[in-house]
Amino acid sequence: MAENMREEILSLLSGQKVDMVPTFSGLIHITAEGLEREGLSFNEIHHDANKMARAAASTFRLTGMPSAALPLDLCAPAEALGAELRYYEDKEFRFPQVGKVRFESTKEITTLITENSDVLNLGRLSLIYEALRSVKQDIGSEAVIAGTIPGVFTLLLYVCKPKNVFIEIKKEPEAVSNALILLADFVAKIGNAYLEAGADFITIHEMGGSPGFIGPKPFEKQVLPALQNLTRQLRGPRVLSVCGRTNAALGLLARSGADAVSVDQLNDVAASRAMLKDTLLFGNIDPVGTLWQGDEAQVHEAVSKAKEAGVDAVWPGCDLVPQTPIQNIKAMTQMNL
């Protein structure tokens, strides 16, 4: 069944009609229980390719959800560009975060990025490449593998002081637009490297630049052209994941060039479906209120509602909380069995 589900998902991503609504994810979906079963701690899985791969495959092994996603944080491209990350060495489930940005102003983002043609020489990107190759060899015949990259505006907020970014959007919008295009070129190279390593598709996780956060007009003027540049360059299926309430901007998201759009639990999915006519719609199970804090009956109800509303695939609305109970993930996945 797992192998058949993988083929169904790949057919769906390639634009073919499929017989079911699959459940999988292209966002981070590792669990505390999965790491424990693998003998891994959360603070060690970001620095070792083998451990990274084992962590990514652990949810499939425990629950049968036919997917894995790498890397296990969104900050590697920012780190590759010189941002300093904060890694947590305690036992808490805290993802790496940017501790110090690389740039003060978007005007500083010029030829520096275009000169970095061999992205695998930067930061942890070579480790992620090797982890993708490893997880592909491990479970790639049974599960789909996602390579996850930050959206262009999200990456901008990771490498440039956010306060200055929002000032310059108003005062120097051309500088912001130029920076976003350069970042799109850079992250496209990373996405294509992930595809070369074995990823079946790319998830563009545009959290900071979602129209649900910055508004539809700034998204259309600043973010959309760079996203279009990014999707044009990616050589594989592309899923655009956005956060927040984005019903008012579904037409803009459809113009991004992504093959699918993943929305979160704040959206009215039936309305999203009505507006997103020719693009696949993924979503929108609440990763906190339902998957982490809910019970199996609530998971079943949420999945049924998403399917009735017309999603093409059931996805968590965002990254899983690591403490998500395994039985809730199984409840979400096994409704297709």
pLDDT above 50 (res 133):
yes
Q: Which of 192, 133, 313, 144 is nearest to 241 (CA)?
A: 313
- What pLDDT is recorded for position 336? 67
For range 3-26, the mean pLDDT? 93
Q: Which of 3, 20, 24 is nearest to 239 (CA)?
A: 24
74-88 pLDDT per residue, tens: 999 999 999 999 998
Amino acid sitting at position 57: A
Q: What is the band of 337 on the pLDDT scale with cuts at 50, 70, 90?
A: low
CA distance 241 to 207: 8
**Lowest-confidence segment of 147-151, 254-258, 260-264, 274-278 by average pLDDT:** 274-278
- What pLDDT is recorded for position 149? 98
CA distance 10 to 237: 9
Amino acid sitting at position 213: F
Which tokens hold the place of 116? 């970095």
Q: Which of 150, 186, 147, 151 is nearest to 75 (CA)?
A: 150
**Rg of the chain (C-alpha set):** 19
Residue 172 phi, psi (nearest 5) = -140, 65
Structural domains in the chain?
Answer: 2-14+24-336 (3.20.20.210)
CA distance 335 to 337: 6
Percent of the chain past pLDDT 90, that is, above it, reads 90
Q: State how far Cα 266 lies from the chain centre.
A: 17
Per the listing, tokens 């973010």 go with 223
pLDDT above 60 (res 2):
no
Amino acid sitting at position 144: V
- What pLDDT is recorded for position 1? 47
- What pLDDT is recorded for position 119? 87
**End-to-end distance of the chain based on CA atoms, in angstroms?**
8
Burial class of residue 205, CB neighbours in 10 A (0-12, 13-18, 19+): buried
165-214 pLDDT per residue, tens: 999 999 999 999 999 999 999 999 999 999 999 999 999 999 999 999 99
Cβ neighbours of residue 258 closer than 8 Å, sequence gap 6 or more? 204, 227, 231, 238, 239, 240, 279
95-128 pLDDT per residue, tens: 999 999 999 999 999 766 555 568 888 899 999 9
Whole-structure pTM value: 0.96
